Chains A and B, each alone.
Chain A
Amino acid sequence: MELTKNLTLGIYLPGKTALHCLDPRTKIAGAAGLIGLLLFTNNYTAYAFFAAFAFGLILTAKIPLGYALRGLKPMLPFLAMMWLFQVFLQKPPGSKVIFSWWILEATDAGFHIGTLMSIRVLLLFLMTTILTLTTSTVELTDGTEALLRPLQKIGMPAQELALTMVIALRFVPTLAEEAEKIIKAQTARGVDFKQGNFIQKMLKLFPVLLPLFVNAFKRADELITAMESRCYTGGTGRTKMKVLRMGKNDYYAWGVFLAFAAMQITLILTIAPPC
């Protein structure tokens, strides 16, 4: 019973690799760029190329491969459901029925759309995981804030937004740990979370979610007190302990990114989508 074991989102894996040491602005913008590319990718070859690049990143950051992939596990049931919907409900004109059962008909186009979408979601998640595993929360805030700063002129509260995002990320593992404790306490009183049908299992979650929410509000309250007692007043006029600076490695990284993007776009444009 270890919920936190499969959780990779929002966890920072300290290290000294090239990827860890990049300027957070480079990493955040790069991740955003890669995710953007992912949204336009529409054929298997391009996805394979992208996946190879993702594995390259994981190797560079010295993240154990099994650990990076483990974080994808909790998503599999949702992906499977999504895939089934696509396979059975997508019926674009001109598609062939490849399998039929009762009133359900699976089309070849549906199969391709579902598969491509699943790969896209997995890679998307992998990209965010790589970003958070190699970037500490402080760096993430600083980076996001710096990237959003131009928007401050049109009234976007960059610093506050960055802080909100980081607090949310920071508390994912904390809440998971807490949920684990509550599940244990309920198990100790005789709740068998593994038993029963879907609805029974859902109902059993109430005794977990209720205290979890109560504690989350309490925690938020404590956090506010802690911040106010240190005179936190928000964005304007705050200085940085570590000033962000682009280094040589960052320019190399942008070179690699642009080269990859060019190849990826070529693959997207030249190879016809399977449906």
Chain B
Amino acid sequence: MPIEVENLNHTYKEGTPFARQALFDINLKIDDGEFVGLIGPSQSGKSTLGQYFNALYIPKSGRVLIDGRDTADRNTDLVQIRFDVGYVFQNPEHQLFKTTVGEDIAFGPTCQRCSPEEIRKRVREAMALVGLDYDTFFKRDIFALSGGQKRRAAIAGVLACQPKVLILDGITAGLDPRGRKEILNVVKNLHQEGKMTVILISHSMDDVARLVERIIIMDQGRIIDDGPTREVLTKIGQLQQIGLEPPQVIEVMQRLRENGFTVTTGVLNIHEAISEIVKMLNMPGRE
């Protein structure tokens, strides 16, 4: 289910004194099975763009094609597009509204008019995918969940609609390191085992760097870089210029280099950094 965006513009509160253009002439293509990080500082337009991918916004200027279906076309079934492209919002409280976890996850499939057996099956599967134990959590009160569990329940609620593309907006915001790790593992599995196209929207470089294969950097409503993770992340100057912190390992390597050590800055995680440093230390001609 490829997503294509052509010359897209977006203005908030158009026609009022508060009008503000949030997207400028965006062109983009995301193919099947890609694992993309959509990164930018706040107000860069990344969430706005994401909401075009599942037809929450309909283009007034430019085009958005989901699997060849134009979202601005009157004959396009927008509800179907929203089932195909799942969107998990930043704040799970905006999404969870039923009393129990099970009921809430069942909401999407109910809207799809699935049979009761099918709904039960999907709820069970979705809970397994995000690592919520069915027997423990099915009847649990939503408000009794921890932050990380709420977030997982919110993802399960979207997964139960069986999307082919999954958009996760600010998925790690406000979680402790452990909750963050758990959630990111869930996402990784969804991409690797579930063969889903996953788009992570985030302003945190560290989380995203370890996971995604392609990074799109946005700033002030424009795409300023788009390429394989390693390539984009090593342009430290560019990241710092728009106020994004590069991943710490890359910063360490950069500092080493500045101090005359011959290491590459193209590392994504701590293991690569270690082997690179070990390699440098073992080089002939060094004491």
Do the two shown chains form a genuine complex with each other? Answer: yes
Residues in A lying within 8 Å of B, measured CB to CB: 1-2, 4-5, 13, 63-64, 66-67, 70, 178, 181-182, 184-192, 207, 210-211, 214-215
Pick the residue among B12, B16, B96, B111 that contacts A70 (CB under 8 A): B16
* A235 nearest CB across to chain B (Å): 34
Give the number of residue pairs across the A-B interface with Cβ within 8 Å: 76
Residue of A nearest to B86 (CB): A188
Q: Is the CB of B97 within 8 A of A1?
A: no
Give Cα A184–Cα B95 distance, bound, in whole angstroms: 9
* A184 nearest CB across to chain B (Å): 5
* A7 nearest CB across to chain B (Å): 10
The A interface is mostly helix, strand or loop, or mixed, namely helix
A192-B16 contact in complex given A185-B94, A215-B93, C-beta closer than 8 Å: no
Complex interface: chain B residues within 8 A of A211 (CB):
93-97
Pick the residue among B16, B17, B89, B143 that contacts A188 (CB under 8 A): B89
Complex interface: chain B residues within 8 A of A214 (CB):
93, 143
Complex interface: chain B residues within 8 A of A67 (CB):
15-17
A188-B107 contact in complex given A70-B16, A181-B94, A207-B97, C-beta closer than 8 Å: no
* B258 nearest CB across to chain A (Å): 44
Complex interface: chain B residues within 8 A of A215 (CB):
93-94
Q: Interface residues of B, CB < 8 Å — how many?
A: 31
> Which residues of chain B in 61-91 are interfacial with respect to chain A, using CB atoms and an 8 Å cutoff?
78-79, 82-83, 86-87, 89, 91
Q: Is the CB of B54 within 8 A of A188?
A: yes
* B150 nearest CB across to chain A (Å): 12
* A129 nearest CB across to chain B (Å): 13
Pick the residue among A4, A64, A182, A192 that contacts B94 (CB under 8 A): A182
Query: Is B158 an interface residue, CB under 8 A from the partner?
Result: yes
Complex interface: chain B residues within 8 A of A182 (CB):
94-95, 97
Pick the residue among B17, B83, B157 that contacts A64 (CB under 8 A): B17
Complex interface: chain A residues within 8 A of B158 (CB):
188-189
Residue of B nearest to A211 (CB): B97
Query: Is B27 an interface residue, CB under 8 A from the partner?
Result: no
The 5 closest A-B pairs by CB, nearest first: A190-B111, A185-B95, A188-B87, A189-B108, A211-B97
Give Cα A5–Cα B60 distance, bound, in whole angstroms: 16
> Which residues of chain B in 128-183 are interfacial with respect to chain A, using CB atoms and an 8 Å cutoff?
143, 157-158, 161
Complex interface: chain A residues within 8 A of B14 (CB):
5
* A262 nearest CB across to chain B (Å): 34
Q: Is the CB of B93 within 8 A of A190?
A: no
Give Cα A190–Cα B161 distance, bound, in whole angstroms: 8
- Most-contacted residue by chain B among A187, A189, A215 (CB, 10 A): A189
Residues in B lying within 8 Å of A, measured CB to CB: 12-17, 51, 54, 56-57, 78-79, 82-83, 86-87, 89, 91, 93-97, 107-108, 111-112, 143, 157-158, 161
Can you spell out 12 A-B residue pairs with CB atoms less than 8 angstroms apart? A2-B13, A4-B13, A5-B13, A181-B91, A182-B95, A186-B95, A188-B87, A188-B158, A189-B95, A189-B108, A190-B82, A211-B97
Q: Is the CB of B54 within 8 A of A190?
A: no
Give Cα A4–Cα B19 distance, bound, in whole angstroms: 12
* A163 nearest CB across to chain B (Å): 26
Residue of B nearest to A182 (CB): B94
- Most-contacted residue by chain B among A185, A188, A214 (CB, 10 A): A188
- Most-contacted residue by chain A among B51, B78, B94, B143 (CB, 10 A): B94
Q: Is the CB of A190 within 8 A of B97?
A: no
Pick the residue among B54, B79, B107, B161 that contacts A192 (CB under 8 A): B79
Q: Is the CB of B97 within 8 A of A189?
A: no
Complex interface: chain B residues within 8 A of A188 (CB):
54, 56, 82, 86-87, 89, 95, 158
Give Cα A135–Cα B184 distance, bound, in whole angstroms: 47
Pick the residue among B12, B51, B93, B107 that contacts A189 (CB under 8 A): B107
Complex interface: chain A residues within 8 A of B57 (CB):
1
* B193 nearest CB across to chain A (Å): 23
Give Cα A191–Cα B83 distance, bound, in whole angstroms: 10
Residue of B nearest to A204 (CB): B111
Complex interface: chain B residues within 8 A of A2 (CB):
12-13
Give Cα A64–Cα B87 distance, bound, in whole angstroms: 36
* A216 nearest CB across to chain B (Å): 12
* A130 nearest CB across to chain B (Å): 14
Pick the residue among B13, B83, B89, B143 that contacts A185 (CB under 8 A): B89
Q: Is the CB of A189 within 8 A of B161?
A: yes
Give Cα A63–Cα B51 distance, bound, in whole angstroms: 31
Q: Is the CB of A184 within 8 A of B89?
A: yes
A13-B86 contact in complex given A181-B91, A184-B56, A189-B108, C-beta closer than 8 Å: no
Give Cα A64–Cα B15 distance, bound, in whole angstroms: 9
Q: Is the CB of A187 within 8 A of B82?
A: yes
Complex interface: chain A residues within 8 A of B89 (CB):
181, 184-185, 188
